[in-house]
Amino acid sequence: MRFVDEARVFVRAGHGGGGAIAFLREKYRPFGGPAGGDGGRGGDVICEVDEGMSTLLDFKYRPRLVAEDGEPGRGKQQNGHAGADLAVKVPPGTRAVEAATGTLLAELLMPAERAVIARGGEGGRGNMHFATSTRRAPRIATPGQPGEERWVRLELRLVAEAGLVGLPNAGKSTLLAALSSARPKIAPYPFTTLTPNLGRVFVSDDESLSLADIPGLIEGAHLGHGLGIRFLRHLSRTRIIVYVVEVLGDPRTAYETVRAELHAFDPALLDRPALVALNKIDLKPPDEAAAAARMLAQASGLEVFPISASERLGLEPLVAAIWRRLTQSRPAAECHS
């Protein structure tokens, strides 16, 4: 399944049906009066969260979302049927933004959450409403209103509680694979991961957290180097950032490079609760790894967990710390006001 986190769609809600002008003419009621019914409402275009989805790929193949028009009113006081809504499924974390103005139309997070992104037009009123004592045969009805239509940008921001960030090759995907059932591609060269991966980490039988593996960042990513920083928007909803830094080379510079790129994307990311996973300690003598961890803790002011993702060393304390931070920072009520 291809990961697509941006799509442009044209949405058009249904037009309202026109009100009818009609008169009752029955055998025994020659002047039965005005009987034009109302037009039906146009259908809405609606986005609805499907928990099982994690990409906007479908919209690449279906860029026009059009709801049904309302039917016009008819004689004998019959109202037209309303047009059917068009409901489309989106992954959790989808934002719908009006392309022309940048206005946020909807942000869909919770399972089964729905939002209207284009509202159908009201139906017109038939002439049966316009009769008065002095105007018994009104030849007036109102037209249906047009439905809203607009270009909409859909943007997906993964809904992950924790995010892994680091230089390419630091071992982020290896760590995600060690902690969850996700099976991201892992290879000994930079930029193996081209789009974010998502996994679920079980802390106990019924407690889990979602973890995102973000493609590697290099110095100048905010200038477009490497894969750039657009994937950092998937960090916007993570509550905890886990810096993955390899113990080889210069861990402190690696950490600072990644911080600088996060800052360039959004300075607020630096204020998020964060931890450091100092990876690949299997490649260093234990005392050197421990010294590197102390140095990095000092330099970063963060808790540093020496681990080996591939050898599965030190993972439990790391997960426990992520979980502790999450439960401490978890909003008191998980409901949206």
Ligand X SMILES: Nc1nc2c(ncn2[C@@H]2O[C@H](COP(=O)(O)OP(=O)(O)OP(=O)(O)O)[C@@H](O)[C@H]2O)c(=O)[nH]1
Q: Which is nearer to ligand X, 78 or 192 (CB)?
A: 192
Q: What sign for the dihedral angle of Cα 273, 320, 278, 300?
A: positive
Q: Which is nearer to ligand X, 176 or 209 (CB)?
A: 176
Task: Please state the closest distance from residue 201 (CB atom) to ligand X, in A.
Answer: 16
**Which residues, 6+ apart, have CB-to-CB distance to 122 below 8 Å?**
16, 41, 42, 144, 145
Q: Return the residue of 264, 282, 290, 303 that touches ligand X, per CB under 6 A.
A: 282
- Name the residue among 202, 198, 186 with its Cα closest to residue 280: 186
Lookup result for tokens 């869909």: 108
- Which residues on neighbouring strands pair with residue 225, listed in sequence order? none
Three-class secondary structure of residue 97 per DSSP: strand
Q: Which is nearer to ligand X, 145 or 308 (CB)?
A: 308
| CB crowding 191-215: b at 16 or more within 10 Å, else e | ebbebbbbbebebeeeeebbbbbbb
Residue span binding ligand X (CB under 6 A) among the ranges 11-19, 29-37, 129-137, 170-178: 170-178
- Of residues 171-190, those binding ligand X (CB under 6 A): 171-174, 186-188, 190
Distance of CA 240 to the CA centre of its chain: 18
- Strand-strand pairing, 6-12 and 149-156: antiparallel
- Which residues on neighbouring strands pair with residue 279, listed in sequence order? 246
168 touches ligand X (CB under 6 A): yes
- Contact by Cβ (8 Å): 12, 65: yes
248 touches ligand X (CB under 6 A): no
- Of residues 128-187, those binding Mg ion (CB under 5 A): 173
157 touches ligand X (CB under 6 A): no
Task: Please state the closest distance from residue 260 (CB atom) to Mg ion, in A.
Answer: 20
Q: Return the residue of 55, 77, 78, 192 that touches ligand X, per CB under 6 A.
A: 192
Q: Return the residue of 119, 280, 284, 325 that touches ligand X, per CB under 6 A.
A: 280
Q: Return the residue of 169, 238, 257, 300 that touches ligand X, per CB under 6 A.
A: 169
| Spatial distance between the Cα atoms of 81 and 17, rounded to a whole number of angstroms | 8
- Of residues 178-217, those binding Mg ion (CB under 5 A): 192-193
Residue span binding ligand X (CB under 6 A) among the ranges 3-11, 124-132, 133-141, 305-313: 305-313
Task: Please state the closest distance from residue 189 (CB atom) to Mg ion, in A.
Answer: 10
Task: Please state the closest distance from residue 62 (CB atom) to ligand X, in A.
Answer: 31
Phi, psi of 266 (to 5 degrees): -165, 105
228 touches ligand X (CB under 6 A): no
Q: Which residue ranges make up the site for ligand X (CB under 6 A)?
A: 166, 168-174, 186-188, 190-193, 215-216, 279-280, 282-283, 308-311
